[in-house]
Amino acid sequence: MNGAHSAALSVVRSLMIDPCGHCDAREIGLCAAMPDEFIVQLSTIMRVIRLDPGTALISEGDDARHYFTLTSGSAKLYKTLADGRQQIIGFLFTGDFVGFGARDLYPYTVEALSKATACRFQRGQLEGVLHAFPELEFRLRGMASDEIAQAHDHMMALGRKTAKERVAGFLMHLSERMRRLGQPSNPMTLPMTRSDIAQFLGLTLETVSRVFSDLKAEGAISTGPGRAVTLDLQRLTAIDGEGIG
């Protein structure tokens, strides 16, 4: 392979997974550890989308014509009830695939939390590439499986945990997520507001704020400046109560 080709590949890779400077060789996103041939094929069908904070990548009810991967920044994925109540299903970070769960219409909205970029793929075209690369199909199933495991944890939290347990568990999960992304994990900077956290945890923003205050008071976390949080994992683990009996 010549130098120009290799350079083009690296551009494509960096479009699909933003070089964050902290990432090592961990598996992130669709491209990691895939053959150049695959990268090239993907590059011919993808389009880069740039998002400002608060703008929607996809909207609930729209025709589900595309799949995406988030390549930088963060986003929230949420559903809305007829009367306006909203539930954030999950937060998305670099490397996350967007499109699971969609049949003909998107059953959720995805909205950027910060400035973010995404790769957009025509559904049929990506399916075509997947057929040509069964390894990718396998990995995508793995990602779906992981998302299911995450969803299970979250259902447990929403159905059975107290407000304090939910917040403690959330902070630890988020920290672990940041660590895997190669970003600062403790202290870490929250990319979302109290309201977002509340809508994710099935609480109100007031309750979340109160729990943060309580956790600070008992020394399980400390906050600031800005949205920085420092975790005392020991105490948070004791509060959370995760795990089998």
Instruction: Please give the residue ranges that form the binding site for DNA (CB under 7 A).
Output: 162-164, 190, 193-195, 202-210, 212-213, 223, 227
Contact flag: residue 39 with a copy of itself (CB under 8 A):
no
Of 152, 179, 213, 224, which lies in the binding site for a copy of itself, with binding defined by CB under 8 A? 152
Contact flag: residue 141 with a copy of itself (CB under 8 A):
yes
Q: Measured from the CB atom, is 55 or 213 closer to DNA?
A: 213
Q: What is the DSSP string of 99-145?
A: -TT-SSB-SSEEEESSSEEEEEEEHHHHHHHHHH-HHHHHHHHHHHH
Contact flag: residue 124 with a copy of itself (CB under 8 A):
no
Residue with tokens 């109100």: 204
Contact flag: residue 50 with a copy of itself (CB under 8 A):
no
Q: Contacts with a copy of itself in 200-239 (CB under 8 A)?
A: 201-202
Contact flag: residue 104 with a copy of itself (CB under 8 A):
no
Q: Measured from the CB atom, is 70 or 215 closer to DNA?
A: 215
Contact flag: residue 107 with a copy of itself (CB under 8 A):
yes
Contact flag: residue 26 with a copy of itself (CB under 8 A):
no
Judged by CB under 8 A, which stretch of 8-16, 19-27, 83-91, 178-186 contacts a copy of itself?
A: 83-91
φ, ψ of residue 37 to 5 degrees: the values are -55, -40
Residue 85, token pair as written in the block: 């109540």
Of 8, 9, 158, 163, which lies in the binding site for a copy of itself, with binding defined by CB under 8 A? 158
- The amino acid present at 232, given as its one-letter code, is D
Element (H, E) at 239: helix 233-240
Residues 6+ apart with CB under 8 A from 122: 45, 65, 66
Neighbours of 198 (CB within 10 A): 22
